[in-house]
Copies of this chain bind each other. A is one copy, B any other.
Amino acid sequence: MTSPLQSLHERLQDNMLAVNDVILSRMHSDIALIPRMAGYLIAAGGKRLRPLMTLASAKLYHDDITTLHPLAAAVEFIHTATLLHDDVVDESALRRGQSSANHLFGNASSVLVGDFLFARAFELMVESGSLNVLRTLSRASAIIAEGEILQLSLQGQTTTNLDQYLQVIGSKTAALFAAATEIGPMMTGQNEAQQKALYDYGYNLGMAFQIADDMLDFSAPEDLGKNSGDDIKEGKMTAPIIFALLHGSSSQQETLNKILKKDNLESEDMHTAQTILKDTNAFIHTETLAKTYVLKAEQALLTAPTSALRNDLTELAHFALTRGK
């Protein structure tokens, strides 16, 4: 069976190829390290989910979406820049199953090439000629940074509550999805209600993807190319942990708190944590939380014109639950 993600990629294949050309030509610089490093990261690929969302959200309204190509590339550049900077922040050694860029090229290069891609993204946006788009994406960029900083401030804080977690992921992940989909109706001349609807779709889709991703952090490393349990090792307070602490007995809370405060986790600690998460139904609670966002995403799309593409986008929200971003 074709996944909605595959189906979207097929529907938008020509446009995605054009976006790819923009990405390749605009990550070029005479400073050789830039295309080498950006190429490493961008070729490593991922699903190009965000530019795909930008294209799809425009295609809902308009057939010729050529004007969106530089913007879809800009969205991918912003995302790639945040990944590069995240790696410096997290000091993580793996990203998408490969050595992370900062592990290979060093912190200094990660910081600076990230800055270059971020600046390039704004150059691409200027070419679009739309101040509304520039406003939307510059605001989203500031919110992403705020989310990352909030996450950093909460690192290792075992008292982090669900609201704080939702604020973190709403900023660091959902804001860019929301902006990516909002600019579709914006650039094709739709009214504010349609722009708001697609903003809501992207925001809730991003929330669902991130919550699913945080759940997947506890499993299947070889599949997703992440180190299993990275978040817990880095003291990131994600939904499964927060639910386990909320619903656990005093003794389960105490054990989990101790593990979260440890500097070097051993596999025994990870195993104990997994058991507590399972026994407190933390994964079930997390899935329920993610589902509320899937339903909101679905709801938001109802005012968009019906089409096979819209169906795919609806399906994608449900698909988010089964795969990380």
Contacts and interface: CB of A to CB of B under 8 A. Distances in A.
Contacts of A108: 88-89, 152
Interface of A: 29-34, 82, 85, 88-89, 107-109, 111-113, 115-116, 118-120, 122-123, 125-126, 129, 131, 134-135, 138-139, 141-142, 144-146, 148-150, 152-153
21 contacts: A29-B146, A31-B146, A32-B153, A33-B149, A33-B152, A85-B112, A109-B152, A112-B152, A113-B145, A115-B118, A115-B141, A115-B144, A118-B141, A119-B142, A119-B144, A122-B141, A123-B139, A123-B142, A125-B138, A126-B131, A126-B135
B119 A149 contact: no
Identical copies of this chain, number = 2
Interface of A is mostly: helix
A191 to B, nearest CB: 21
Nearest to A128: B131
B138 A111 contact: no
Contacts of A149: 29, 31, 33-34, 109, 112-113, 116
A51 B144 CA distance: 26
B89 A112 contact: yes
Contacts of A145: 112-113, 115-116, 119
Contacts of A138: 119, 122-123, 125-126
A50 to B, nearest CB: 16
Contact of A150 (B31, B85, B88, B142): B31
A288 to B, nearest CB: 28
A119 B131 contact: no
A138 B32 CA distance: 21
Nearest to A136: B126
Given A88-B88, A149-B113, A129 B131 contact: yes
Contacts of A31: 146, 149-150, 153
Contact of A88 (B34, B111, B113): B111
Contacts of A111: 85, 88-89, 111
B142 A120 contact: yes
From A108, A123, A139, residue with most partner B Cβ within 10 Å: A108
A122 B145 CA distance: 13
A88 B112 CA distance: 10
A103 to B, nearest CB: 15
A112 B148 contact: yes
- Most B CB contacts (10 A, CB to CB) among A88, A115, A135, A144 go to A115
Contacts of A32: 153
